[in-house]
Amino acid sequence: MKELEEFAATFKRDLLKKVKKPRIWKEKDILDGKIVNAFVLILRTKGCRWANKAGCLMCGYFKETYDAGKDEILRQINEAYKQYEGEEIVKIFTSGSFLDEEEIPLELQRYIIKKFSKAKKIIIESRPEFIENLKELDGEARIEVAMGLESANDLVLEYAINKGFSFKEWRKAAKKVKKYGKELKVYILIKPPFLTEKDAIRDAVKSVEKVKDIADTISFNPVAIHSKTVLERMWRHGLYHPPWLWSVVEVLEKARKIYDGIIKCDVVAGGKMRGSHNCGECDKKVLSAIRNFSLTQRAEEFKNLDCKCREEWRDLLEVEEFIKG
Ligand code: SF4
Ligand SMILES: [Zn+2]
- Domain residue ranges of the chain, discontinuous segments joined by +: 2-242
Query: Ligand 2 centre from 195 Cα, in Å?
Result: 22
Q: Whose CA is nearest to atom 2 of ligand 1?
A: 96
pLDDT at 7 over 70: no
pLDDT at 15 over 60: no
H helical segments located in 218-304: 230-236, 245-258, 283-296
What CATH fold (topology level) applies to the domain 2-242? TIM Barrel (3.20.20)
Give the H or E element holding residue 1: none
Give the pLDDT mean for 40-50. 93
For residue 94, the ligand closest to its alpha carbon is: 1
Q: Positive or negative, the Cα torsion across 228, 4, 192, 148?
A: negative
- The per-residue pLDDT of the chain, averaged, comes to 93
In angstroms, the CA 228 to CA 240 distance is: 15
Q: Give percent above pLDDT 90 in the chain.
A: 83
Q: Is 32 exposed, middle or buried (0-12, 13-18, 19+ CB in 10 A)?
A: exposed
For residue 58, the ligand closest to its alpha carbon is: 1
pLDDT of residue 11: 58
Q: Give percent above pLDDT 70 in the chain.
A: 94
Query: Which atom of ligand 1 approaches the CA of 163 most closely?
Result: 4
Determine the residue of 59, 150, 157 to mutate for testing ligand 1's pocket, defined as the one with the most ligand atoms within 8 A of the Cβ atom.
59
Determine the residue of 44, 45, 46, 50 to mutate for testing ligand 1's pocket, defined as the one with the most ligand atoms within 8 A of the Cβ atom.
50
Query: Ligand 2 centre from 65 Cα, in Å?
Result: 37
| Terminal CA-CA length for the chain | 27
Residue 176: strand, helix, or coil = helix
Classify residue 33 by its DSSP letter. Answer: T
Q: Whose CA is nearest to atom 4 of ligand 1?
A: 56
Residue 325: strand, helix, or coil = coil
Query: Ligand 1 centre from 74 Cα, in Å?
Result: 23
Give the pLDDT mean for 69-73. 91
**pLDDT tens-place string over residues 85-119:** 999 999 999 989 999 999 999 999 999 999 999 99
Q: In the chain, what is the greatest distance between 2 CA atoms, to the nearest angstrom? A: 58
Contact in structure between 100 and 135 (CB atoms under 8 Å): no
pTM of the model: 0.92
Query: Which atom of ligand 1 approaches the CA of 55 most closely?
Result: 5
For residue 249, the ligand closest to its alpha carbon is: 2
Q: Which among 83, 87, 97 has a CA at the least distance from the CA of 29?
A: 87
pLDDT category at 323 given cuts 50, 70, 90 is confident
- Strand pairing category for 34-42 and 23-31: antiparallel
pLDDT at 46 over 70: yes
Give the pLDDT mean for 192-202. 97
In angstroms, the CA 52 to CA 184 distance is: 25
pLDDT of residue 20: 65
Instruction: Please list, residue by residue across 35-71, b when 16 or more beta carbons sit within 10 angstroms of its beta carbon and e when fewer do.
Output: eeebbbbbbbbbbbbbbbebbbbbbbbbbbbeebeee
Query: Which atom of ligand 1 approaches the CA of 96 most closely?
Result: 7
pLDDT at 321 over 90: no
> In the sheet that 34-42 helps form, which strands lie side by side, from edge to edge?
23-31, 34-42, 89-93, 121-125, 143-150, 183-190, 217-222, 262-265
Give the H or E element holding residue 199: helix 197-211
Determine the residue of 65, 93, 127, 165 to mutate for testing ligand 1's pocket, defined as the one with the most ligand atoms within 8 A of the Cβ atom.
127
Identify which has the larger pLDDT, 307 or 62: 307
Q: 8-13: list long-range contacts, CB under 8 Å, 24+ apart.
A: 8/54, 8/55, 8/56, 8/57, 8/162, 8/230, 9/53, 9/54, 9/55, 11/55, 11/228, 11/229, 11/230, 12/51, 12/52, 12/55, 12/62, 12/228
- Ligand 1 pocket by C-beta < 6 Å: which residues? 48, 50-51, 55-56, 59, 61, 96, 127, 148
Contact in structure between 182 and 222 (CB atoms under 8 Å): no
**pLDDT tens-place string over residues 215-257:** 999 999 999 999 989 999 999 999 999 999 999 999 999 999 9
